[in-house]
């Protein structure tokens, strides 16, 4: 157990180090002055002061300075607004993670049962329709799906709002950056109303992002259930006369779920990307919205920071899920994943 | 151990599912507990001080929401009426202006500043001296550029600004200026708080003056998130009238389609710049109303006259001939604009009915271009604004149409666009060949078109996008402002028009109407031909 | 088979024929093949069948609804966009660019990926472990995010976004190739070949490649659907195809401005992308299922 944890900790530290090195090289890859790219400050003197290095510092000592700055949250400032980037990221990242989390949750809540049903009765009409639906869902371009949802549910039916995380007139002070937590912490608003309002705002973005993950999950769960139900111990249980419901609940489900966790780890990254794509359609104030603005404005320090933050978050999430899946199923081979 | 780990998880799923169902079910009995008006604006303001910027976005977000001026334009007539100055007096020779100020006008009381006194002469002195006096401690703060005043070269004409007593000030000019009062009534001549400025200077962060604003206007500033929203709250002690609306939020939405969508879903109450193509959709929807006003603006295509071959008037003329303006009016403005002949719109008294205009003639354009040495396949850039403006609701679309016209005369066009802030910085640096942009007037005086758009002094301040400097033109404009007789002025402007027709530093395209779309339960939004939107009196009727 | 056979030889279809026979049994998969064939046809001959020049602007016919709408006209089968350009012609040209570039860039990514993967799979020691570690790090980042990063460095544009997606897809081919090669290298027939003194190239060409082709075809369809989605997403986000380049994602991005007044401008390009991706996925699934069945027999 400790060995596994240590190994993943090692992997985490190494990958994060690689990401920081990569973001440092971005300073050289982007057009313009290296010092400006690394700090967002126009004048070299100010940039050097920010990095706490001398003007004759070599490549390596510059990296050390950048590295230690990065660790303490001194990520530079935006070259357009002059705002400190670290706090900007802290404002946007929670929104992205939040949307990703609810989308994953929805995908799991719907995807798991569907996958089980399909896998237990293969080749029947239920299986075929679930499989067909998942193939369709899997092929949607996420940005188009989001627009279609807006068109149907917001503009034509007028059921759900299409922008933001909560009604702008509800002045929810930002504390944690996670809207439901912030609503609970706020003391100046009608919490019940705010809660319902936030849920409504969440509905469309969550749905459009989760559809694709849901499809992947359904297929993975179906595959894995199929495999498990052919295992000898299931057949043995059948011969002992257990009912199929008992067999599935007692032996099948858990074993079918084991190979799913690592797939979730892969899916988290896709999910976050999809969240970032739809954010600007839903005026969702997350990293994608922010990073795209930075790219359009050619705000290189912000792009560098944004990539650092997103890559960092994605890696941390992936490794957490990997660790979880290893803890749940220590017998699994290192990168052994079920086919989707 | 493993088994029990699943139980709480399952319970959690059920709880969340339950919460989700509860949220989606139509138990919408409680009305929104928070009231206020949401205005969907089109872009980010660069600061909350309109002195620093001529962009309409900045004035919309600040000029009439947060601040007042000494004098104001009457919305209906365009005449000058009292603002923070109760009355004013102009001397016989037109050189001395005396203003009597209002008493008991309260500044905003916010989290970051508590005023200890009401508005007085010091505030006026501070506000004017900041842009006028280069040695003023605040002059260089936030960039030190005051484009409106600098493009008019107004500072040079002010000899002094004197405090007579706490509520009376006097401004001395070096030469008479018939449009001086109009300048003081524009969005840009706002009155800031001198007390706040002093306090910030002591704290060593003077730039906060422009980002955490304090004014006397109907709303006070609460919070701004770039690219997301601006939040204001009612100024309870507003001196002019009581403010009916408790909260005002600017929802920053760059795409006009999304603004319309939010208007339809009720997420916005008022929307800036509906696209011309969407006007019919707004008219047909019972719940929406469309406000319409002839705009004091001009949309044009400016050549960078400091670049080859656009420094040659004949090349510019030839390129202008390649463009069919009538189609642009139909396709981009959908007929809701007047064809522009000169740069002054027909609503102005200085508009010249019979001015000459370059007509559409691709054949002649082609031969003229070849004669000037512009070969087939010559490539140039057209910069298209990324934002909608009243004067050009869709510059990108216009650029694409023009790309087609210019291809017909053998000129290859690359369309360039950046984010609005970058766009303007790069324009300022003169990186363009030509640009589709325009101008919304800030006051009713024709000088407000002729001077900032094309005089030499307007190049460094970034309003002369053609980068065109012509001594003869400058002289005409100077002379026009020194006389008060309007017939005489008209004649001088006619000469200027003639010069523009010969030199073609820019091709005027359209004078657009100004539109505002809003929900039907919103009353008293004031759209102003002379500048930013005014939401001080807006009221939202509960359905 | 209907041919008269004099000698009662046992008929041994090649593995490919077997797979094809299994594949044909699925009607859905065959429908996918037909749709893909149509897109391939468009990719080659698109300009010949498009009724108008896709950049031709008719300012008298802005936002004309499709022909099946009450106010549509037959002149513009699928209506026009905000600049009066024929949507049908634009879709054909857009599909040509999107599909054509996706196919091409997946091929390039496959060639490079397989080369690296084989090298990594056949060698061991430090070189292999360095490649493996780098790959594991890269695999974590989704292709689109990687592509956005690369576009941010190179600058926006269709060609840059193609490079970006190609680069981003390579690790996946490397990963799968490496795993397959690893697996195959333990097989007896490889060992036999090695004992016979066959060179690495020889082993690769004669023993590894024939056994990898099917895996590669399946991976290729997966990568193709990813590539189409990514290239349209970049186009939609204004990071890929710009301005005058007609690409399905960019067409959609243009149409967002008329989402409410002209919904067909959203629906049709979106459906085209969807049909393309769906067909690729269905064919990929069919192939995989056919392979599985063949191996089981």
Q: Where are the domains of chain C?
A: 35-296
pLDDT per residue as tens digits for the range A282-300: 888 889 888 888 888 788 8
Yes or no, beta carbons of B281 and C260 under 8 Å apart: yes
Yes or no, beta carbons of A171 and B264 under 8 Å apart: no
B/e letters for B510-529, b = 16+ CB within 10 Å, e = fewer, are: bbbbbbbbbbeebeebbbbb
If one counts every other C-beta atom within 10 angstroms of the C-beta of residue B479, the result is 14
Distance CA B514, CA C228 (A): 42
Give A325 to chain C, closest Cα distance, Å.
16
DSSP state of C11: P
Sequence spans of domains, chain B: 1-45+217-291+516-543, 67-210, 297-512
Yes or no, beta carbons of C57 and B261 under 8 Å apart: no
Yes or no, beta carbons of C137 and A144 under 8 Å apart: no
> How much is the mean pLDDT over chain C?
82
| Fold entry, domain C35-296 | MetI-like fold (1.10.3720)
Res. C119: pLDDT tops 70: yes
Q: What is the pLDDT of residue C131?
A: 67
User: Residues C214-223: what's their mean pLDDT?
Assistant: 86
Q: What is the pLDDT of residue A275?
A: 92
Yes or no, beta carbons of A277 and C141 under 8 Å apart: no
User: Residues B155-174: what's their mean pLDDT?
Assistant: 87
User: Residues C258-272: what's their mean pLDDT?
Assistant: 87
pLDDT per residue as tens digits for the range B79-94: 788 888 888 888 888 8
Yes or no, beta carbons of B19 and A199 under 8 Å apart: yes
**pTM across the whole model:** 0.79
Yes or no, beta carbons of B257 and C257 under 8 Å apart: yes
Give C75 to chain B, closest Cα distance, Å.
20
Q: Judge whether C266 and A144 are in contact, CB under 8 Å.
A: yes
Confidence tier at B15 by pLDDT (50, 70, 90): very low
Give C99 to chain A, closest Cα distance, Å.
14
Chain A environment of B28 (Cβ under 8 Å): 196
Chain A environment of B249 (Cβ under 8 Å): 168-169
Yes or no, beta carbons of B257 and C84 under 8 Å apart: no
Distance CA A201, CA B23 (A): 10
Q: What is the pLDDT of residue B21?
A: 40
Write out the two tokens for A313: 């978050």
Q: CB contact, 8 Å: B400 with chain C?
A: yes
Yes or no, beta carbons of B33 and A190 under 8 Å apart: yes
Residue spans of chain A under pLDDT 70: 1, 330-340
Yes or no, beta carbons of B36 and A169 under 8 Å apart: yes
Res. B194: pLDDT tops 80: yes
Q: CB contact, 8 Å: B278 with chain C?
A: yes
Q: What is the pLDDT of residue B435?
A: 92
Q: How many helices (H) and strands (E) does chain A have?
A: 15, 0
User: Residues B187-203: what's their mean pLDDT?
Assistant: 89
DSSP string, B254-301: --HHHHHHHHHHTS-SEEE---GGGHHHHHH-TTEEEEEEE-SEEEEE
Chain B segment 218-277 residues within 8 A of A by beta carbon are 222, 225-229, 231, 247, 249, 251, 253, 258, 261-262, 264-265, 267
Closest CA in chain C for residue A313: C141
Chain B environment of C84 (Cβ under 8 Å): 331
Confidence tier at B16 by pLDDT (50, 70, 90): very low
DSSP string, A6-17: HHHHHHHHHHHH
Q: Judge whether B333 and B496 are in contact, CB under 8 Å.
A: no
Tell me whether domains B1-45+217-291+516-543 and B67-210 share a fold. no
Confidence tier at B451 by pLDDT (50, 70, 90): confident
Chain B environment of C82 (Cβ under 8 Å): 277, 397
Which residue, among B390, B429, B398, B430, has the nearest Cα to B415 in the 3D structure? B398
Q: Residue B272 pairs with which residues in a beta bridge?
A: B516
Distance CA A229, CA B440 (A): 73
Sorted by where each starts, the structural domains of chain A and their CATH numbers stand as: 87-293 (1.10.3720.10)
Q: Judge whether C57 and C85 are in contact, CB under 8 Å.
A: yes
Q: What is the pLDDT of residue C155?
A: 78
Q: What is the pLDDT of residue B9?
A: 39
A270: nearest CB among C142, C153, C282: C142
Give C263 to chain B, closest Cα distance, Å.
11
Q: What is the pLDDT of residue C7?
A: 62
Q: What is the pLDDT of residue C10?
A: 63
Give A8 to chain B, closest Cα distance, Å.
21
Measured in Å, how far apart are chain B's first and last C-alpha atoms? Answer: 57
Q: What is the pLDDT of residue B19?
A: 42
> How much is the mean pLDDT over chain B?
83
Mean pLDDT lowest for which of B54-58, B313-317, B406-410, C280-284? B54-58
Is residue A70 classed as helix, strand or coil in its secondary structure? Answer: helix
Q: What is the pLDDT of residue B24?
A: 40
Q: CB contact, 8 Å: A184 with chain B?
A: no
Q: What is the pLDDT of residue B353?
A: 78
User: Residues C224-231: what's their mean pLDDT?
Assistant: 90
Neighbouring chains of B at 3+ CB pairs within 8 Å?
A, C
A155: nearest CB among B28, B225, B265: B265
Give A123 to chain B, closest Cα distance, Å.
29
User: Residues B167-171: what's their mean pLDDT?
Assistant: 90
Yes or no, beta carbons of B20 and A199 under 8 Å apart: yes
Chain B environment of C258 (Cβ under 8 Å): 257, 277
A264 or B128, higher pLDDT: B128
Mean pLDDT lowest for which of B95-99, B175-179, B319-323, B473-477? B175-179
Distance CA C231, CA C225 (A): 10
Confidence tier at B286 by pLDDT (50, 70, 90): confident
Distance CA C279, CA C30 (A): 9
pLDDT per residue as tens digits for the range C101-111: 999 999 999 99
Q: What is the pLDDT of residue B6?
A: 39
Give A45 to chain B, closest Cα distance, Å.
19
Res. B274: pLDDT tops 70: yes
Chain C environment of B263 (Cβ under 8 Å): none
CATH dotted code for B297-512: 3.10.105.10
Q: What is the pLDDT of residue B2?
A: 38
- As assigned by CATH, the class of the B67-210 domain is alpha beta
pLDDT per residue as tens digits for the range B227-267: 889 999 998 888 888 888 888 999 988 888 888 888 888 88
CATH dotted code for B1-45+217-291+516-543: 3.40.190.10
Burial of B304 (0-12, 13-18, 19+ CB in 10 A): buried
Q: What is the pLDDT of residue A103?
A: 93
Yes or no, beta carbons of C140 and A29 under 8 Å apart: no
pLDDT per residue as tens digits for the range C75-113: 787 888 877 788 888 889 888 889 999 999 999 999 999
């Amino acid at each position: 157990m400790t060995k596994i944890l240590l190994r993943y900790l090692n992997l985490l530290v190494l990958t994060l180090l690689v990401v920081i090195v990569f973001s440092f090289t971005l300073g050289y890859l982007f057009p313009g002055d290296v010092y400006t790219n690394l700090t967002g400050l126009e004048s070299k003197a100010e940039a050097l002061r920010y990095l706490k290095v001398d003007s004759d510092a070599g490549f390596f000592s510059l990296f050390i300075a950048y590295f230690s700055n990065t660790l303490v949250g001194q990520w530079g400032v935006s070259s357009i607004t002059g705002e400190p980037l670290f706090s900007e990221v802290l404002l946007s990242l929670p929104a992205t993670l939040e949307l990703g989390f609810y989308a994953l949750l929805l995908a799991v809540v719907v995807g798991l049962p569907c996958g089980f049903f399909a896998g237990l009765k293969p080749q029947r009409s239920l299986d075929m329709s679930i499989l067909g639906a998942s193939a369709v869902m899997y092929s949607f371009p996420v940005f188009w799906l989001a627009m279609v949802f807006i068109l149907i549910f917001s503009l034509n039916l007028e059921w759900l709002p299409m922008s933001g995380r909560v009604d702008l007139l509800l002045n929810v002070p930002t504390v944690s950056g996670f809207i439901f937590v912030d609503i609970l912490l706020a003391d100046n608003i009608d919490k019940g109303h705010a809660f319902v309002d936030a849920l409504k705002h969440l509905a469309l973005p969550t749905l459009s992002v989760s559809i694709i993950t849901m499809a992947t999950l359904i297929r993975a769960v179906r595959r894995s259930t199929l495999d498990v139900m052919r295992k000898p111990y299931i057949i043995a249980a059948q011969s002992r006369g257990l009912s199929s419901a008992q067999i599935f609940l007692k032996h099948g489900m858990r074993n079918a779920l084991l190979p799913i966790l690592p797939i979730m780890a892969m899916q988290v990254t896709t999910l976050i990307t999809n969240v970032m794509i739809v954010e600007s359609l839903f005026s969702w104030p997350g990293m994608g919205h922010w990073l795209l603005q930075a790219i359009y404005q050619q705000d290189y320090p912000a792009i560098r920071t944004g990539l650092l933050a997103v890559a960092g978050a994605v890696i941390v999430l992936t490794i957490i899920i990997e660790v979880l899946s290893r803890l749940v199923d220590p017998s699994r081979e290192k990168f052994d994943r079920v086919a989707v | 151990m493993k088994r029990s780990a699943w139980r709480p998880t399952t319970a959690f799923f059920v709880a969340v599912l339950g919460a989700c169902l509860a949220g989606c079910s139509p138990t919408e009995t409680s009305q929104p507990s928070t009231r206020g008006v949401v205005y969907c604006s089109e872009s980010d303001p660069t600061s909350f001080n309109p002195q620093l910027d001529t962009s309409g976005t900045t004035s919309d977000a600040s000029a009439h929401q947060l601040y007042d001026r000494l004098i104001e334009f009457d919305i209906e007539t365009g005449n000058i009426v009292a603002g923070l100055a109760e009355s004013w007096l102009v001397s016989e020779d037109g050189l001395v202006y005396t203003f009597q100020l209002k008493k008991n006008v309260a500044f905003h009381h916010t989290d970051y500043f508590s005023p200890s006194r009401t508005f007085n002469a010091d505030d006026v002195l501070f506000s004017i001296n900041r842009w006028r006096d280069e040695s003023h401690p605040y002059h260089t703060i936030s960039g030190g550029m005051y484009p409106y005043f600098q493009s008019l070269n107004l500072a040079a004409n002010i000899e002094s600004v004197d405090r007579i007593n706490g509520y009376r000030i006097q401004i001395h000019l070096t030469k008479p200026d018939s449009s001086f009062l109009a300048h003081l009534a524009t969005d840009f001549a706002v009155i800031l708080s001198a007390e706040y400025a002093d306090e910030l200077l002591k704290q060593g962060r003077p730039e906060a003056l422009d980002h955490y604003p304090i004014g006397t206007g109907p709303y006070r500033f609460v919070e701004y998130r770039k690219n997301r929203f601006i939040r204001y709250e009612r100024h309870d002690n507003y001196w002019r009238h009581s403010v009916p609306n408790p909260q005002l939020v600017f929802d920053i939405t760059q795409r006009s389609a999304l603004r319309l969508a939010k208007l339809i879903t009720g997420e916005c109450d008022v929307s800036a710049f509906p696209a011309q193509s969407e006007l019919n959709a707004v008219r047909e929807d019972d719940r929406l109303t469309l406000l319409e006003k002839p705009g004091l603006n001009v949309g044009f295509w400016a050549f960078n006259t400091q670049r080859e071959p656009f420094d040659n008037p004949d090349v510019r003329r030839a390129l202008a001939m390649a463009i069919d303006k009538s189609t642009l009016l139909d396709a981009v403005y959908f007929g809701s604009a007047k064809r522009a002949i000169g740069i002054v719109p027909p609503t102005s008294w200085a508009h010249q009915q019979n001015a000459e205009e370059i007509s559409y003639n691709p054949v002649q354009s082609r031969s003229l271009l070849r004669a000037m040495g512009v070969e087939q396949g010559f490539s140039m850039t057209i910069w298209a604004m990324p934002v909608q403006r009243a004067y050009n609701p869709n510059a990108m679309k216009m650029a694409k149409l023009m790309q087609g016209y210019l291809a017909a005369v053998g000129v290859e066009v690359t369309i360039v666009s950046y984010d609005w802030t970058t766009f303007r910085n790069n324009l300022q640096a003169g990186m363009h060949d030509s640009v589709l942009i325009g101008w919304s007037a800030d006051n009713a005086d024709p000088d407000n078109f002729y001077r900032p758009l094309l005089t030499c002094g307007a190049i460094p301040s970034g309003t002369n996008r053609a980068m065109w400097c012509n001594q003869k033109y400058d002289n005409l404009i100077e002379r026009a402002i020194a006389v008060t007789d309007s017939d005489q002025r008209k004649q001088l402007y006619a000469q200027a028009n003639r010069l523009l027709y010969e030199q073609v530093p820019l091709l005027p395209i359209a004078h657009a109407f100004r539109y505002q779309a809003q929900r039907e339960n919103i009353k008293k939004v004031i759209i102003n031909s002379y500048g930013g939107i005014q939401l001080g009196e807006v009221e939202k009727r509960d359905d | 088979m209907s041919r008269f056979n004099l000698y009662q030889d046992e008929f041994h279809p090649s593995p490919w024929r077997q797979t094809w026979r299994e594949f044909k049994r699925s009607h859905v998969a065959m429908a996918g093949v037909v749709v893909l064939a149509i897109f391939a046809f468009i990719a080659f001959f698109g300009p010949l069948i498009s009724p108008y020049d896709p950049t031709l602007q008719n300012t008298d016919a802005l936002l004309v609804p499709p022909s099946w709408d009450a106010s549509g006209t037959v002149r513009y089968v699928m209506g026009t966009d905000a600049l009066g350009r024929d949507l049908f012609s634009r879709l054909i040209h857009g599909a040509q660019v999107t599909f054509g570039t996706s196919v091409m860039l997946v091929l390039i990514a496959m060639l490079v990926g397989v080369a690296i993967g084989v090298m990594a799979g056949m060698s061991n020691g430090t070189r292999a472990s360095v490649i493996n570690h780098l790959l594991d790090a890269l695999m974590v980042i989704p292709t689109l995010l990687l592509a956005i990063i690369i576009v941010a460095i190179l600058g926006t544009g269709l060609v840059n976004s193609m490079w970006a997606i190609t680069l981003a897809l390579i690790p996946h081919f490397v990963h799968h190739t490496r795993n397959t090669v690893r697996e195959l290298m333990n097989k007896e027939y490889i060992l036999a070949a090695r004992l016979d003194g066959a060179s690495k190239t020889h082993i690769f060409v004669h023993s590894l490649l024939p056994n990898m082709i099917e895996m590669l075809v399946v991976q290729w369809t997966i990568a193709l659907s990813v590539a189409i989605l990514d290239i349209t997403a970049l186009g939609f986000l204004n990071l890929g195809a710009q301005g005058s380049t007609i690409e399905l994602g960019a067409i959609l991005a243009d149409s967002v401005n008329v989402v409410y007044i002209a919904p067909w401008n959203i629906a049709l390009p979106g459906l085209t992308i969807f049909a393309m991706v769906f067909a690729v996925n269905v064919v990929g699934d069919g192939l995989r299922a056919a392979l599985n069945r063949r191996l089981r027999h």
